[in-house]
Amino acid sequence: MFPNPVQSLLTIQLDKSNLSLSIVDMLGKTVLSRDNMSNKNTINLSQLNNGVYFVSVKENGVVLKTEKLIVKN
């Protein structure tokens, strides 16, 4: 996942395809969700407010990895 901190476009590289992704704010609210992710993805985050978020990658509903993401627009 790069760049971090991100201003607008976030690139996420995955080892597998057909995974789902969710971005959650500090209050636990899901602000973005994507299904059927490919191996390399670019996501526009310019609509998000500045702050700290958590990005989770899931396979069949099971969280494989969670990372902190900082958004600075």
In a domain, 38, yes or no: yes
In a domain, 36, yes or no: yes
Residue ranges making up the domain that contains 54? 9-71
In a domain, 21, yes or no: yes
pLDDT confidence of 17, banded at 50, 70, 90?
confident
Amino acid 49: pLDDT? 96
In a domain, 3, yes or no: no
Is the separation of the CB atoms in 12 and 45 below 8 Å? no
How far from 51 is each of 45, 69, 71, 72, CA to CA, in Å?
12, 8, 5, 7
What's the CATH code of the domain at 65? 2.60.40.10
Q: Mean of the pLDDT values across residues 32-53? A: 94
Number of domains in the chain: 1
pLDDT confidence of 73, banded at 50, 70, 90?
confident
Task: Tell me if the pTM is above 0.75.
Answer: yes
In a domain, 2, yes or no: no
